[in-house]
Each structure stands twice: as C-alpha cells, then as structure tokens.
Amino acid sequence: MAHFGDFQNEIYFAGLSGVIQKWPVDFPTLEKRAAEAMSTSLLNYVRGGCGDETTQDRNASAFKHWGMTPRMMVDCTHRHLDIELFGLKLPSPLFMAPIGVTGLCTQDEHGDLAAAAASRMTGVPLVASTLSNDPMEAVASELGDVPGFFQLYTPRDKALAESLVHRAEAAGFKALVVTLDTWVTGWRPRDLNTGNFPQLRGHVLTNYTSDPVFQRMLGPAINDRATVVQRWAQTFGKVLTWDDMAWLRSITKLPLVLKGICHPDDAKRAVDCGADAIYCSNHGGRQANGGIAAIDHLPHVVAAAGDTPVLFDSGVRSGTDVVKALALGARAVGIGRPYVYGLALGGAAGAAHVLKCMLAEADLLMAVNGYPSIDAVRREGAVRVS
C-alpha cells in the first residue's frame, strides 16, 4: 500500500515540477470532466439531490463558513494521519461512503470491484453498499488486506436481513453500517422527470439475487427480471424504530454503525442502544430537502456522542473539507460523489487518484497549518465565521 509521502510525490511534487495529472485535482473540474464521460441518466442520478437541492448545495457551501487558525513554530516535518476505529489501525481518517450505483459507473459495469481496488491501492476503507452489481463476497475479496465495512439497507423480511448480515460477516467485513434515512426514496425531480431509478430497472440487485433467502422467496422467478424488481421493491426498506436496535444488535457481533444521524438526541439514543459509532450524514442531500448542512450538525452530534466515534459525510469536496470535519470532531470522514466521478473517468485508478488528492491536500494543509497529528487538528478546532 502506498504511503502519503508517495501521494505527495505522485501528485504535489510532480505538479510542482511540471507533470500534468491525467485527471483533475479539484472537484469542480473533476465533476465537469465526469459529466462529459457519463450518460445523462447516470449523471442525473449521481449528481442530483432531493427537491430544489437546497440541502445538497448547503452541504458543500457550508464548509466555507468554518475556518481554522494556523500555528507557527511547530515541527510538522512528519504528519500522522492514522486513526483507530473499531480497534483497527487505519492509515488515514478518510473512507469511501456507500454508493449504490458504483457498479454502473465503469464501462464494464463492475464499478464495485473497481471501488474496492481503489481502496486496496490507497488503504482508504470502502463502505460497500447493499446495492451492488457484484456480490459482496467478490467486493470483499478485491479489498485484499484493507478493512472494509458493509452498509445494510435493512429489508422488511427479517430472514433476508439476517442472511445479508451473516454473509457480510463471513466475507470479512469489519463493521455493519445500517442506513436509517432511506427506507423510502426522497423526492428527486431529476429522476422523477425522467423515470430514472436504476434499481427499478433491475440494476445493482446482485446482493439480493445471490442470496439464498431471496432465492427461496422467488423460486424459479429468480431469473425473471421484472419479478426480481417487484419483490425487491416490496422488501427494500424496513421502517426501523429504536425498538429494532435490540434485534439489530442480536444478529451481529460486528461493530454497529447508525448512518443518517443529525440530531444530538438521536446520537445519545443510539449510544444508549449500543451503537458502536454514529454516522452523521444527510445522505448527501438526496433524502430530505430543506435541511441545514450536515457539517453544521456535526459539532452537536459529536458533543452528544461523548466517547463514541462519529463518522461524517455529505458535502466533502477537498482535503481542506476533510481537515475541517476532523477539526469539528469527526473520527473519520467519508466522500461520496467525488470518488464516483473518479471511477467514471478512470475506473479504479481514477477513484484512487481522487482519494490520493484528498489525502495529499489534507496532509499538506496540516503541514502548513502547524498541525502534526489529527489530535492537534481536533485540539485547534474550527470556528464558525459569518
């Protein structure tokens, strides 16, 4: 696995000496280039959010309202970006958020394997989505020695839910991330106007069709796409309440992470119910419109979570954003759309490039800010500017 110093050599020092990267190093150019490479329908699905996209726009722009203060006369020759999470030592605080259509984002439609390969190339853990073109076992094996986490969309059928979780454990995933905010899809005008929902066209359902419980539910109809989609839609989104926590806790020994928590009281409740980590996120502004930016929720969620680690995503577009989220208390920081655009442009290598740029920028910012470690970043914090 490459070291950050290598990423600095590969991207930053190479740039200083006149080497031009194959793919952009900044998000706006990356998105523009990816938009040229992707089909309109896939681009709409990935880029879009809910309603008039106010929440989604706020997610990214709110990072500008947080500022950090540099410290001088600190030896930052060597920075330490490693973190501990679930007893695992991770080389950096970055992770890849679960994205249900990564499978469709490469030419060969094996984008889930490409995302896993990018994880292996960079050491940045992947949270593998339930919605996948390749079975989770294949994704896990592509990760090599880099730990991966499995994201669960909890089916209404409990036997199916338990089967997916047991498969994730057997495949070697190191944590279970249960997404709470998407038992039903948000109001997404771009997709509604074009009738474009990849899952409802039979894509990314391989974790279901490869599952023995789902196969039993369907019988011979497992080979009939229309029936698969219909049964999937019937079972997709269990309405979870706090009463389900005991059941969720009972079906796995893996660390349990609750994704989609934005309210401090929900964070407290999650900790009381035995969650091992809180994942503060508003699903990249794709579920509930009219909300405040996820990064503005983060400090309150962190305060409420106490010693329980808080993961964060939604709106992270640069290494600077990564450092700000850490300064506001996140233990680990996830990115969504940026690595998907990398995948669309250059497969595994393209996604790895995006991750390397994030890490190289974050590392360099820590160097010039006089923050030698993540502890130092957290200690210095970030302040809200009007």
Ligand X SMILES: Cc1cc2nc3c(=O)[nH]c(=O)nc-3n(C[C@H](O)[C@H](O)[C@H](O)COP(=O)(O)O)c2cc1C
Q: Beta partners for 151?
A: 177
Please, which residues have CB within 8 angstroms of residue 62's CB and are 6 or more apart in sequence? 292, 293, 295, 296, 315
Binder among 91, 93, 100, 260 for ligand 173 (CB under 6 A):
100
Closest CB to ligand 173 among 153 and 371? 153
166 in catalytic set = no
Binder among 34, 38, 50, 97 for ligand X (CB under 6 A):
97
Read off the tokens for 253: 């020994």
Based on the shown chain and the rule CB under 6 A, indicate whether residue 103 belongs to the binding site for ligand 173: no
**129 marked among binding-site residues:** yes
Nearest CA among 147, 153, 85, 146 for reference residue 310? 85
Residue count at the site for ligand 173 (CB under 6 A)? 7
Measured CA to CA, the distance from residue 130 to residue 225 in angstroms comes to 18
Closest CB to ligand 173 among 16 and 184? 184
DSSP state of 50: S
* Segment 245 to 304, residues that bind ligand 173, using CB under 6 A: 283, 286
Q: Which stretch binds ligand X (CB under 6 A): 75-83, 114-122, 304-312, 332-340?
A: 332-340
* Contact between residue 288 and residue 212 where contact means Cβ atoms under 8 Å apart: no
Binder among 94, 131, 168, 205 for ligand 173 (CB under 6 A):
131
Amino acid (1-letter code) at residue 122: T
Radius of gyration of the chain from Cα atoms? Answer: 20
Measured CA to CA, the distance from residue 295 to residue 123 in angstroms comes to 25
**350 marked among binding-site residues:** no
**281 marked among binding-site residues:** yes
Based on the shown chain and the rule CB under 6 A, indicate whether residue 182 belongs to the binding site for ligand 173: yes
**100 marked among binding-site residues:** yes
Instruction: Provide the angle, in degrees to the nearest 10, between the axes of the packed helices 40-47 and 337-369.
Output: 50
Cβ atoms within 10 A of the Cβ of 16, count?
9
Burial class (CB in 10 A: 0-12, 13-18, 19+), 72: exposed
- State in angstroms the smallest separation of the CB of 287 from ligand 173: 7
Task: Tell me the per-residue interface mask from 184 to 213 with ligand 173, x by CB under 6 A, - otherwise.
Answer: -x-------------x--------------
Read off the tokens for 315: 């709106």
- State in angstroms the smallest separation of the CB of 234 from ligand X: 18
Based on the shown chain and the rule CB under 6 A, indicate whether residue 112 belongs to the binding site for ligand X: no
- Among residues 110, 203, 283, 297, which one is catalytic? 283
**151 marked among binding-site residues:** yes
- State in angstroms the smallest separation of the CB of 196 from ligand 173: 11
Based on the shown chain and the rule CB under 6 A, indicate whether residue 337 belongs to the binding site for ligand X: yes
Runs of H (alpha helix) within 183-275: 189-194, 206-209, 212-218, 225-235, 245-250, 264-272
Based on the shown chain and the rule CB under 6 A, indicate whether residue 129 belongs to the binding site for ligand X: yes
Read off the tokens for 192: 């509604």
Read off the tokens for 256: 């349990």
Q: Distances in Å between the alpha carbon of 312 and those of 219, 275, 315, 316? A: 40, 15, 10, 9
Q: Which residues are annotated as a binding site?
A: 45, 98-100, 129, 151, 153, 179, 188, 259, 281, 283, 286, 313-317, 336-337
Binding site for ligand X (CB under 6 A): 45-46, 59, 97-101, 129, 131, 151, 179, 259, 281, 283-284, 286, 313-316, 335-337
Q: Which residues are annotated as a binding site for glyoxylate?
A: 45, 153, 188, 283, 286
Q: Which residues are catalytic?
A: 283
Q: Which residues are annotated as a binding site for FMN?
A: 98-100, 129, 151, 179, 259, 281, 313-317, 336-337
